[in-house]
Amino acid sequence: MAHIALIHALPALVVRPSCAQDVSIIVREARLLDLKIAIKGGGHIPWAGAASIGAGGVLVDMRNVTGVNLGEDEETVSVGSGEKWESVIKILEGKGLATVGARVPRVGVTGFILGGGLSFFAGRYGFSCDAVMAFEVVLADGCIVKSSRTSHPDLFSALKGGSNNFGILTRIVLPAFAQGAMWGGMTIHPQSSMPELITALVDFAKQPNPDQNVNILVTYGFSSMFGNTLSASSLFDTAPDTSNNHSTSLEAFVAIEPKIQSTLRTDTLLSFAEEQGQGTSDNSRVLYFTVSVKADKQILLKIQALVDEAIESVKGTAGLLFSYILQPITTTFLVNSTRGGLNAMGLSPSDDAADDQLMRKVSSRCLEKVENLAKVEGKLVRWNFLNYADESQKVMQSYGAKSVAKLWERNVPGGFKLPKLE
C-alpha cells in the first residue's frame, strides 16, 4: 500500500534498477561519491523521510525489480522486491497455491517482509518474515549476497524484521502451498458491541491450542463520513470445514448481534484481500502507531476509553478515520514463527496538511496514555511492530541485531535505524 502521503521532499535523482546487478552499481557509485540514498519499495511506511531523501540524495525506486517465478516443484516462489502482493496472489491462485503475503493486495512485498509481516496464514506460519527461505540482498559495499539459514545465516536472521538496515533487498524466496477456497469476511456492529468483541478476542488469544488456520482482526473506530463510531471484526478460516463453513474458534464472533452489515462467505483469497483493501488510498494522509499488551479484557476496555477520548478531540476533522485495531499474537503463533529460525525482532479522505500536526499530537498523546496504562496494569509488552509503527517509536531498540556495515546507516538515513550503543 503506497502510504506516501506525508512525503513531499524531492530527491536530486531517481534511479530505477531492474535487477540486483543494477542495484550493485548504484550502491558502489553512491559509496564512491558519498551520496545519501533512500530505497522505495511499495511505500509501506507512511511517515515522511522513510522512503525519501530530499535534495542532494538519490532515490532508488525498486518498481522495476519484478518477477514472480514459481519453482519447478511448485513448493517455492521467488518474488522481485518491486512487486506488490496483488500480482503474487493472482499468479499463485491461478495454480491453486498461496504464500504468506499481505492481506491487502496493494501492499509492497519488501516493506511487508522486512517489517515482519502478518498474513492470513500467520497462525500457521507466524510472522511472514520467518517463513522466508532465502533473500537476495545488495550490501553496503555493493556485493550481491544470497542469504539463507545455511548461507550467511546471521544476515538472514537480521533481515527478518530488520527494515533497511542491512542492505537493499532485490529478491525473496517464499514457500508456496496448496490453497483452495477460504471462509471469512467482515462484520460491522454498533459501538456498543466492542466489549463482546474484545471478550471473544481475549478468549481466543488465551486458548492453549487455538485453531492455526484462523485469522482475526477486531476494529473500533470513528468515521467522519458516517459521523459515528462503530465496531467490527474481520474473520478468516483458511481451511474451512465443508460441513460447518468455519472453525468453531470463530463462533463467538459470528454469534455477536446485532450486525449492521456482514460479508461472511466462502470465497477466494484474492477476493478477501481486495475487500480488506477497500477504503485505502495511495493519496490519503496516514499515521500509524503501535503498542503491544497482554491479552486482557480490562486493559483493552480501558484503552477503548482512551481512544474515545482521542476521537472526541478530533472528530470535527474532515475525512477522518480514527481506528483502534486489535490483532492477537498467540503463543502458538510465536512457536510456529520460531521454526523459521531467529529474526531481528526479538519478538474519500482529506488531503489537508494542516491536520497533520493535530493528528500526530492527539495520536501520540493517546499512545502515551495507553502505554502508561499498560505499564501500571503490568500488561505492557516491550515490542513494537515495525509494519504499524510511527517514526517517533523506538522500534529497533529491543532488536539486539548488529549492523552488517555502519556505512549503511550513515548513507541510508531513512526508515527505522538501529540504536546507537553508548
Residues above pLDDT 70, as percent of the chain: 77
44 close to 111: Cβ distance less than 8 angstroms: yes
- pTM score: 0.79
CATH number at residue 119: 3.30.465.10
Same domain, 368 and 244: yes
Residue 33 inside a domain? The answer is no
- Kindly report the average pLDDT of the chain as a whole number: 83
Name, in order, each residue with C-beta under 8 angstroms of 208's C-beta and a sequence gap of 6 or more.
331
Mean pLDDT across 41-66: 73
Mean pLDDT across 160-186: 89
Same domain, 157 and 306: no
| Rounded Cα–Cα distance for residues 229 and 324 (Å) | 11
| Rounded Cα–Cα distance for residues 399 and 417 (Å) | 11
Which of 203-212, 268-277, 339-348, 361-370 shows the lowest mean pLDDT across its residues?
Answer: 339-348
Mean pLDDT across 290-312: 92
Same domain, 142 and 242: no
Residue 111 inside a domain? The answer is yes
For residue 341, give the DSSP letter. Answer: -
The one-letter amino acid at 191: Q
Residue 7 inside a domain? The answer is no
Helices (H) and strands (E) in the chain, counts: 12, 18
Asked whether the predicted pLDDT for residue 344 surpasses 60, the reply is no
More confident call, 335 vs 28: 28
More confident call, 124 vs 414: 124
Nearest alpha-carbon partner for 101 in 227, 266, 263, 272: 272
The one-letter amino acid at 138: V
Asked whether the predicted pLDDT for residue 358 surpasses 70, the reply is no
Mean pLDDT across 355-381: 75
| pLDDT band with cut points at 50, 70 and 90 for residue 132 | very high
pLDDT at 346: 55
Report which listed range, 33-37, 345-349, 353-357, 385-389, is most confident: 33-37
| Rounded Cα–Cα distance for residues 416 and 374 (Å) | 24
Residue 93 inside a domain? The answer is yes
Asked whether the predicted pLDDT for residue 4 surpasses 50, the reply is no
- Range(s) of the domain holding residue 152: 64-178
Asked whether the predicted pLDDT for residue 186 surpasses 70, the reply is yes
Same domain, 122 and 214: no
Asked whether the predicted pLDDT for residue 175 surpasses 90, the reply is yes
Same domain, 157 and 187: no
Same domain, 223 and 350: yes
pLDDT at 364: 76
Same domain, 104 and 245: no
pLDDT at 419: 44
Boundary of a domain, candidates 158, 178, 198: 178
Name, in order, each residue with C-beta under 8 angstroms of 209's C-beta and a sequence gap of 6 or more.
332
Boundary of a domain, candidates 143, 178, 213: 178
| Rounded Cα–Cα distance for residues 183 and 235 (Å) | 8
Same domain, 169 and 244: no
Asked whether the predicted pLDDT for residue 117 surpasses 70, the reply is yes
* Burial zone of 420 (CB within 10 Å; 0-12 exposed, 13-18 middle, 19+ buried): exposed
384 close to 4: Cβ distance less than 8 angstroms: no
Asked whether the predicted pLDDT for residue 44 surpasses 50, the reply is yes
| pLDDT band with cut points at 50, 70 and 90 for residue 61 | very high
Asked whether the predicted pLDDT for residue 342 surpasses 80, the reply is no
Residue 35 inside a domain? The answer is no
Number of domains in the chain: 2
| Rounded Cα–Cα distance for residues 64 and 70 (Å) | 19
Same domain, 102 and 87: yes
Asked whether the predicted pLDDT for residue 187 surpasses 90, the reply is yes
The one-letter amino acid at 141: D
pLDDT at 37: 86
pLDDT at 403: 36
pLDDT at 242: 62
| Rounded Cα–Cα distance for residues 113 and 162 (Å) | 9
Residues above pLDDT 90, as percent of the chain: 52
Asked whether the predicted pLDDT for residue 422 surpasses 60, the reply is no
Residue 149 inside a domain? The answer is yes
Same domain, 134 and 147: yes
Boundary of a domain, candidates 178, 194, 218: 178
Mean pLDDT across 162-177: 87
Same domain, 211 and 335: yes
Residue 221 inside a domain? The answer is yes
Q: What angle, rounded to 10 degrees, do the helices at 269-277 and 85-93 form?
A: 160
State pLDDT tens for residues 80-113. 999 999 999 999 999 999 999 999 999 999 989 9
pLDDT at 3: 42
Report which listed range, 92-101, 133-142, 277-286, 406-415, is most confident: 92-101
Same domain, 153 and 204: no
State pLDDT tens for residues 385-417. 665 566 555 555 544 344 334 334 555 555 544
Which of 232-241, 265-274, 304-313, 394-403 shows the lowest mean pLDDT across its residues?
Answer: 394-403
